[in-house]
Amino acid sequence: MTRHETFSASAIADKELVLATDLDGTFLGGTEEDRGRFYKWIEANRDRVGLIFVTGRDPGFITDLTRRRGVPRPDYVVGDVGTTIAAVEPDHLLSPIAALEAEIAELWGDAGTTVQSALRKVPGLRLQSTGFRYRVSYDLDPDRFDRAAFDIVADLGLDALVSDNRFFDVLPRGVSKGPTLLRLLAHLEVENARTLVAGDTLNDLSMLSLGLPAVAVGGSEQALLDELTGLDHVHVASGIGVAGIAEAIVQKKMFSAG
């Protein structure tokens, strides 16, 4: 456990609100004006607001995003569609939490090469160039995609997930954004009721459906909205991106003005 992790584990558990948010289309969504206003609000309330990125993005992207692009640095990251769990150091580098990642590593083993070989001839899948530790990811062409890929992945004892009708991820069995976020919150001793979960595509379903206060921001994927129908804990926002998150914070009365 790093010094930063020890400090943040204590601090984030005491925050009035912990925002656990997807990035693309959610925390990075909305107008430039809306993003600027919301990011300033985050920074002005760091003593009361905790921030966790829950994303399909990899650690390198997140470090560059917060170090060079003016996006607030999170306290923690659930990255790589739930297969990375890390604290974020003051220099913006991610520090994986070994105790939480051990089970993920064991479930994955050395499946990467096997997955790539098994899916090599599946139409509509193009392997992404980024190398991931505990997942294999593809760009998906929905017009050519053969759904037999799901059966191939299941036969390998792994899970497959399509999001935004553009991405196909192969993950360890039972690992995704939602279950991994729950493990991190328990590790940090953060109360679920003080956590607002935000997302916009189908790969956010596993965290939006946990039962924690949640928001599907404006412009969310229709397939996600269909799955969320009837879930009272989920606020379906009209505001796009960060405007939708702000809307939910007000609607759910999760942060006091004082």
The predicted pLDDT at position 219 comes to 94
pLDDT tens for residues 135-164?
A: 999 999 999 999 999 999 999 999 999 988
Q: Which of 143, 172, 201 is the last residue of a domain?
A: 172
**Distance of alpha carbon 217 from alpha carbon 225, whole angstroms:** 10
Query: Does the structure show a pLDDT above 80 at 257?
Result: no
| Average pLDDT rounded to a whole number, residues 54-61 | 93
**Distance of alpha carbon 203 from alpha carbon 190, whole angstroms:** 23
Residues 24, 50 within the same domain:
yes
**Distance of alpha carbon 116 from alpha carbon 109, whole angstroms:** 14
| Average pLDDT rounded to a whole number, residues 91-105 | 95
DSSP string, 60-109: HHHHHHHHHS-PPPPSEEEEGGGTEEEEE-TTS-EEE-HHHHHHHHHHHT
CATH of the domain at 222: 3.40.50.1000
Query: Domain range spanning residue 161?
Result: 104-172
Domain count, the chain: 2
Residues 215, 88 within the same domain:
yes
Q: Are 178 and 198 in contact (CB under 8 A)?
A: no
CATH of the domain at 151: 3.90.1070.10
Q: Which of 172, 191, 218 is the last residue of a domain?
A: 172
Q: Among residues of the chain, what percentage have pLDDT more than 90?
A: 91
Residues 14, 93 within the same domain:
yes
The predicted pLDDT at position 221 comes to 93
DSSP character at residue 51: E
Q: Which residue has the higher pLDDT, 230 or 6?
A: 230
Query: Does the structure show a pLDDT above 70 at 93?
Result: yes
DSSP character at residue 203: G
Residues 191, 77 within the same domain:
yes
**Distance of alpha carbon 87 from alpha carbon 66, whole angstroms:** 14
Residues 186-197 as b/e (b if ≥16 CB within 10 A, e otherwise) read eebebeeebbbb
Residues in a beta bridge with 169 = 137, 161
Average pLDDT in the chain: 93
Greatest Cα-to-Cα distance within the chain, rounded to the nearest angstrom: 59
Give residue 11's pLDDT band: very low, low, confident or very high (50, 70, 90). confident
The predicted pLDDT at position 258 comes to 57
**φ, ψ at 199 (rounded to 5°):** -160, 180
Residues 7, 90 within the same domain:
yes
